[in-house]
Amino acid sequence: MDNSGLSALIILGIISFIWILPILSIACSRRTTGSEKLAWILAVIFVSWFAWIFYLLLAPIKKK
């Protein structure tokens, strides 16, 4: 594999990681549970990648 192919693969990996990061943060979060968490993940995937910003702002905060 030449350098340009390797560079393209690295760039693709970085972009993929940045895209999946909000999904992972919602999945690991304790702010929401069950079907609400699934709804937020689906919103991020299908509505907009930037829906995670609304998740951070609007997801209910659990009181301990």
pLDDT per residue over 13-44, tens digit each? Answer: 988 888 898 889 999 988 888 889 998 888 88
Helix axes 3-28, 34-42, angle to 10 degrees: 150
pTM of the model as a whole: 0.63
> In the chain, how many domains are there?
1
| Residue range of the domain that includes 26 | 20-64
Euclidean distance between CA atoms 60 and 38, whole angstroms: 14
**Residue that wins the pLDDT comparison between 8 and 24:** 24
Residue 49 has pLDDT above 60, yes or no: yes
Q: Is position 6 within any domain? A: no
Q: Is position 12 within any domain? A: no
CA angle 13, 19, 24 (to 5 degrees): 105
Residue 10 has pLDDT above 80, yes or no: yes
Tell whether the torsion through CA atoms of 17, 20, 22 and 27 is positive or negative: negative
Residue 21 · residue 56 · CB < 8 Å: no
Q: Is position 4 within any domain? A: no
